[in-house]
Structure 1
């Protein structure tokens, strides 16, 4: 067995443990009884320790050092080794005790979050969240940074991203998106009341499965379940699972969470099983991952062309709700722009205010400028400032997201990064695929999926995010594409011209 083959075998063993943790985590979100929480946390902590020990083994580090200078490796093999070496250097900064302790605190925080949600009381979450913030600060210090401690955590989700590069991006949001939304708020509001009527749960479920299937999601390599917070989880490219949530008085909840999570899942199913456990078998970054979900959700799933194909069927499924609602009314209604409390239910423009608020709060938490005790007050103040809403309770405010309970500080900015990548990528797809929008209106998204598979999915982590963007579109991430898309779409919907 060659040294590279030994590397592959070891990486796959680590992946097996990691994906076993993922199975337990999926079960925790979907099936776990309340009394199983404590032992489940212990199980995940044990496996996390095993995974860390396997990856940080001194003999594995020695093997990586040898492979780093092996000139017989091809470009793909070299990239796998380089990425793994970079991650190994980070991982070896942590001892096993730290990894297990962090895992335990995450488990405790998750269940404290659930308890707080049940009581609609943020105070029940504060002690566990404070402990978690402390250990994430410690983690940032161990990882190291040059300018801002938050940079170390950002790099875990969007490699190479820093506060110094994200601050200007969110400054664009303030300078360009804020005034554009003010113009929309002054226009006559579109009606979306038809979305808020009674929609039978079982009919919604079946329609969501149909949308997933016709996007190209392979149910032989995945499944959909219900969960309080929709998510996608991967055990291999041949087992990629999604969840949705259904509100019988809000059709939008199910429909666009299915399409959104379907976009994530198509990315994972599009990676190569031959690269299982290797960097080239995984996603480049969470920003690129989010670009896939937002592209499908907004550029396809909220387009008029998409519903030119599906709307007649939806009307037949819910004739009492939609029988007298025209396609134009439906299209404008599903793209209604209005401030709200919940990030996952936000329109695609206000969405970035939700993300920006979380980004600003996370920076301050990790920098030590914001105590967890003051977090709720700051959250509510920023929502009033940017969205002009007063948060009515904790569940529609500070308790709405699970991310902090998972220890995922640095994750939120990737949602906006992904949306901006999505606009740039879809613009390129429209130029590359003849009559793409006509094909979408005919119910055929197969060429778009093929294009994404060829240009993004199949590469895994062969390229860095910025490198891929330049390779695909000819330039780095450019906020202009998102604003051009937003202005063209919403000037028409709200008659701003």
Structure 2
């Protein structure tokens, strides 16, 4: 950094001050979802709103705009320095369209919405959450207008999560993906059902917790640079690459609930812990996109965590930890059980195949909300009808229906499609990793994840935001997103499990 020009050094200093404020706010948000006393909620909302507004004001100041313009015209910057400046200027131009007043109103609304979502879940009543969600939606529509869009106001938020994403693009992807998945599902549903009842016994909380911690350590998650806690909805949050925290939730009557949440969030955390420390506060210390972020969590959760090799290594350990629960169960039976395909209610607990119907329903609801075809109060009816139509399941209540996800309470419209995009990128990246690491299956069978983690560090994590999703995919695999790699992976897995 000592070789940088005075203007670039000033830019770094200013960006890091802004990052400090943003991450201070993130610490308060993490606390809000983990340990915040109930009576502290109101002041917490005010505190987060204040910090969010300050960060926005500093970043969109005339001083910062002039500095970025000067740097954009300056010769002598290194490739990485220029990438930081270009990305920061893009961010500045976007954020400058949003007035501080809207940032503050959104922060306050998100705080209210999160707590009414929690209360709505407790009371199993969507109407508790609906008024605050309506307010969030109106603010997001206001934001769409300010940001600008070509065809659909929803595009402004899709693009915010994955550069270049749009309704037109996602409609094309999902239109092609849906029949391919439906074809595999229809074949599976003609076969005998996989037995998985042994996963739903009493599994003591503490033993599940300790096993989850061990798997995270084995994956390479650094507990000296992070921690795990319990929350209503599992999530990962970072304050820098040396402080990356994950949460999970535990159901003592369902073994599947916690472990794969740990692995999923661990995949996110490994990405954050490997981002360049020297770029703190700058775009190159941030993930490429939300889709690429999800590629990491889905890759670890599914290509690794639900693999035959993973079961070969860990199931003997689990049999020692839970001898009564897994008595008489073979490794093959466990492998089939954790990969059972069965249309279900809860997205986070869904199998790899039907998971994407959950995503499609949420995507369609968001798209319809933004173009005004439905209102917030129509969500339960639309949700229930499409779960019946797409998955053939009846939604019994709001908690297991349209109140199951935290995303809308955060105002995270446009996030859900990244789960499907990430799953496809993840399959594509893992396929490439298996080509470049010939003994990858053997390593996983032996519980050795370092070769894969090192590959991901060098191929994905190291670049930060230098490349967008498609450019990174091209750099890694020689092609942009290819959904056929994902469907081929699913077909290969389920051919073996269901003999289709």
Q: TM-score, normalised by structure 2?
A: 0.98
Counterpart check, 1:166 vs 2:170 = yes
Q: Secondary structure at the match of 2:33?
A: helix
Q: 205, 210, 225: which one pairs with 1:206? A: 210
Helix, strand or coil: the match of 1:88? helix
After superposition, residues 51-200 of structure 1 pair within 5 angstroms as 51-200=55-204
**3-state secondary structure, aligned to 1:30:** coil
State the match for 2:337 in structure 1: 333
Residue 170 of structure 2 aligns to a residue in which SS? helix
State the distance in 1 between where 2:211 and 2:195 align: 23
- Equivalent position of 2:292 in the other structure: 288
Secondary structure (helix, strand or coil) at the match of 1:450 reads helix
Please report how far the alpha carbon of residue 172 of structure 1 lies from its aligned counterpart in structure 2 after TM superposition: 1.8
The structure 1 residue matched to 2:454, chosen from 438, 447, 450, is 450
Give 1:310-389 correspondences, 5 Å limit: 310-389=314-393
Q: Given that residues 316 and 323 in structure 1 are in contact (C-alpha distance below 8 angstroms), is that contact kept between their aligned partners in structure 2?
A: no
Q: Does 1:423 align with 2:427?
A: yes
Alignment partner of 2:189: what SS? helix
Q: Decide which moves more: 154-163 or 357-366.
A: 154-163
Aligned counterparts of 1:131 and 1:228: Cα–Cα separation in 2: 23
Pairwise CA distance, 1:373: 1.2
CA distance in structure 1 between the partners assigned to 2:30 and 2:470 by the alignment:
31
Match of 1:29 among 26, 33, 41: 33
**The residue matched to 1:235 in structure 2 has which SS?**
strand
In the alignment, is residue 224 of structure 1 matched against residue 228 of structure 2?
yes
C-alpha distance in 2, partners of 1:95/1:316?
58
Shift in Å, 1:182: 1.1
Alignment partners' CA distance in 2, 1:227 and 1:322: 28
Q: Are 1:80 and 1:280, in contact at CA under 8 Å, matched by a contact in 2? A: yes
The CA deviation at 1:340 is: 0.7
| Cα distance in structure 1, aligned partners of 2:280 and 2:208 | 34
Q: Deviations over 1:293-326 (max 9, x none)?
A: 0000000000010111111111000000112100
Q: How many residues align?
A: 496
Q: Distance in 2 between matches of 1:10 and 1:121?
A: 45
Deviation at 1:173, TM superposition (A): 2.0
SS at match of 2:324: helix
Q: CA deviation at 1:495?
A: 1.1
* Partner SS state of residue 245, structure 2: strand
Deviates more, 1:169-178 or 1:213-222: 169-178
Instruction: Choose the corresponding residue for 1:256, options 260, 263, 273.
Output: 260
Deviations 1:55-85 (A, max 9, x none): 0010100000011111211111111011111
Distance 2:106 2:258 in 1: 33
Question: Once the 2 structures are TM-superposed, how far is the Cα of residue 375 of structure 1 from its aligned partner?
Answer: 1.1
1:414 paired residue number: 418
Task: Point out 4+ residue stretches in structure 1 off by more than 2 angstroms.
Answer: none
Structure 1 distance, partners of 2:140, 2:186, is 37
- Pairing partner for 1:275 from 266, 269, 279: 279
- Distance in 2 between residues matched to 1:407 and 1:247, nearest whole Å: 27
SS at match of 1:242: strand
CA distance in 2, matches of 1:63, 1:178: 53
Deviation at 1:178, TM superposition (A): 1.1
Deviations 1:85-131 (A, max 9, x none): 11100111111111101111111111111111111000111111111
Q: Which runs of 5+ in 2 are unaligned?
A: none
Structure 1: unaligned runs, 5 residues or longer: none
State whether structure 2 residue 404 is matched by structure 1 residue 400.
Answer: yes
Provide the C-alpha distance between the structure 2 equivalents of 1:46 and 1:286, rounded to a whole number of angstroms: 26
Q: Give the CA deviation at 1:33.
A: 1.4
